Amino acid sequence: MKIHPTLLQRAAILLAIGLLGGCASVSSTDSGAIGLDRKQYFSDGVRKRVLTDAAKGYNENLTKALTHRAVNADAKATQRVVNITNRLIPHAKAFRAEAVDWQWEVNVLSVDQVNAYCMAGGKIMIYTGLLDAVQSDDELAAVIGHEIAHALRDHTAEKISTRSRNNSVASGLGSVLSIGLALTTGINLHKTAQDVSQLGAHAMANLPNSRELEHEADRMGLELMARAGYNPMAAAAFWRRSIEASAKEGQANKSAFWSTHPSGGDRVNDILAIAPKVQPLYQDATAAAKTKTEATK
């Protein structure tokens, strides 16, 4: 039996279509002033599932923390976090209009660890270790804005979809290669393997990596804080210090904030490069705040 190589190529194309069939190419947010335009891929139903799981997980963690009296123990620190978050949330509409109406919640957990997170749907937790690490409200706004950006962009759902799709692609490519090897008569096996490799590269091309998502959250967070009247340059200062902290700590503490938030020099450079786009927003916000203050005198 003689099989023409193009038949295998067609099979590869059909496989690619099948693998992509369970994922939607969308953008969970608008582009904002930073010009965010990357398309995302989500498995069917994963965003809704993550939203439900996030609410459940957050409530469970909160209940455990309350039993140990480890939530909002410092009223002044809690109010500081609430005030900053309340300034940031209204500007979520620049990326995702309906997010303003999420059931937002913010709490401060008494844990001596530099950490913070915002779950899908707007459930925020700030660790007291982070409050000790930042040197200003602007820096704290940078971190909170960064975490809010992850939620706005549905990064958790996207990462779950990516892992699922990676597994499907790997399995599917193995099947195509097996078919190619089985139908060897008249087929150039080197060309067959090459076709399969090209399919793999094509299928993986639009899958984001963790560093890309972190940069995306940095940029979105930068715009959120600028719109809220916080100096975007504070973000560069915080991450620059995190590089030093990460270098000192090394691999000793896997749970540290910077173990899940890559802090290489390219991160600071990226922030500095995008800052000019959001600086006018910061200037407008500070001018508006000044006018409002003067009007109340």
**What would the two tokens of residue 245 be?**
């902290």
For residue 108, give the nearest of 133, 129, 127 by alpha carbon: 127
Quote the CA–CA distance of 288 and 236 in Å, as a whole number: 24
- Of 98, 105, 139, 147, the active-site residue reads 147
What contacts 248, CB < 8 A, 6 or more positions away? none
Quote the CA–CA distance of 160 and 148 in Å, as a whole number: 18
Quote the CA–CA distance of 235 and 143 in Å, as a whole number: 8
For residue 181, give the nearest of 38, 25, 11, 48 by alpha carbon: 11
* Alpha helices per DSSP H over the chain: 5-21, 46-67, 75-88, 128-133, 137-152, 155-182, 189-204, 210-227, 233-249, 265-296
Quote the CA–CA distance of 46 and 58 in Å, as a whole number: 18
Quote the CA–CA distance of 216 and 265 in Å, as a whole number: 16
- 139 in catalytic set: no
Active site residues: 147
